[in-house]
Amino acid sequence: MSNIDGRFERHVHQSVDDGWINQLLDDEPPRIKTTLGIDSARSVITRNQSPDVPFDRSINPYRGCEHGCVYCFARPTHAYLGLSPGLDFETKLFWKPEAPALLRKQLSARSYSPAPLVIGTSTDPYQPVDRDKQLTRSIIGVLSDCQHPFSIITKSALVTRDIDLIAPMAAQNRASVAVSVTSLDHRLSNLLEPRASAPHRRLDAIRKLSDADIPVTVLCAPIIPGLNDMEIENLVAAVHDAGATSVSHIVIRLPLEIADLFEEWLEANYPNRKAKVMSLIRQMRDGERYQSEFGTRMRGTGPIADLIATRFKAARKKHGLIGRSLDLDCSGFKRPSADGQMSLF
């Protein structure tokens, strides 16, 4: 992964190996250390009006993500910080220590009306740094205290740490979890998502969540034609066997800087497939690398995209699975007071 300049930068930098570096260094260059800064956001609930997703509000405890997924559609957001969507995105992270307090304050507003809230729509709420910070657990604690419905999106087995908080809410139809499973091929998964949980650990997490009676949907995302589309039927069968109740898919999205990063990744890891994969992607995007229109940006268009959707539909039907839904109960919401106390009535 390179550290390409963000689209707002005035200058473009390019690293060139002139042959001296290997002579000057006896060992490999040191690994880039991950840094964690503070995001001093004044609010934590983000609103959206996208018809492509079944929710209108979300929380992202972190900016940037250690998982380092090459395809992550959130990478371009680091350009707003003057940082690179490349290596900076996965090594220069920011967390929101005031998120639980800010969340409680926003929920206390008389104008607030409850609806399912999704945790982790842009960056993973259970990325490795959360083992120490436990910020996601604190956010779930606030939502549980208020009986506010929520769903979690993650590709980390760390989610099982918080089963004790999620399960009681799920028992009242106020919580669910969506686990992203991209591939059952450990090599491909490791290359695509180098610091995310391995496929077998995600399946184990699905099993543990299901055993705790927590509804689990699986997001097979992204589907990359020529790389993992041949796994569709096996993916659906595996997550069904692990206990998932629903499954959906998203085809690969390459907005802004991600397109160049992904092509760079293909050249480094699958040079013989690069031309084919990019051709198939363009066939789903009317000849472009990406199209941002609502309704098609997550599904694509044309015969390739239609075939992928048809195969998922058939696989779901075979295993008695449904598509993704977010039908959670909002009736028990208990509005907190601004000082953190719960309302008496």
> 48: which 2 tokens?
């959206």
Q: Quick one: pLDDT at residue 337?
A: 82
Q: Quick one: pLDDT at residue 16?
A: 47
CA atoms lying within 13 Å on the CB side of residue 314:
9
Q: What is the mean pLDDT of residues 251-271?
A: 96
Instruction: Give the whole-angstrom CA distance, residue 206 versus residue 214.
Output: 9
| 287 CB-contact burial (10 Å; exposed 0-12 / middle 13-18 / buried 19+) | exposed
Please enumerate in sequence order all residues whose Cβ is within 8 A of that of 90, keeping only pairs 6 or more positions apart, or say none: 1, 34, 64, 65, 66, 67, 68, 195
| Confidence at 338, pLDDT banded by 50, 70, 90 | low
What domains lie within the chain, and their CATH numbers?
A: 34-249 (3.20.20.70)
- Backbone φ and ψ for 336, nearest 5 degrees, come out as -80, 160
Look-up: residue for tokens 């509000």? Answer: 57
For the whole model, what pTM was predicted?
A: 0.90
Instruction: Give the whole-angstrom CA distance, residue 275 versus residue 266.
Output: 9
Q: In terms of DSSP H, where are the helices of 152-293?
A: 163-170, 186-192, 199-211, 232-242, 258-269, 274-283
For 177, 198, 239, the CA distances from 201, given in Å and listed in that order, are 15, 5, 12
| Confidence at 159, pLDDT banded by 50, 70, 90 | very high
| Confidence at 41, pLDDT banded by 50, 70, 90 | confident
| Confidence at 7, pLDDT banded by 50, 70, 90 | low
Q: Quick one: pLDDT at residue 6?
A: 60
Instruction: Give the whole-angstrom CA distance, residue 70 versus residue 227.
Output: 14
For the stretch 69-83, pLDDT in tens is 999 999 999 998 999
β-sheet bridge partners, residue 35: 92
Using alpha carbons, select from 67, 302, 310, 286 the residue that is nearest to residue 193. Answer: 67
Q: Quick one: pLDDT at residue 88?
A: 95
* C-alpha radius of gyration, the chain, whole number: 21
For the stretch 92-108, pLDDT in tens is 999 999 999 999 999 99
| Lowest mean pLDDT across 25-39, 208-222, 281-295, 321-335 | 25-39
Look-up: residue for tokens 């295993």? Answer: 319
| 115 CB-contact burial (10 Å; exposed 0-12 / middle 13-18 / buried 19+) | middle
CB atoms within 10 A of CB 169: 22
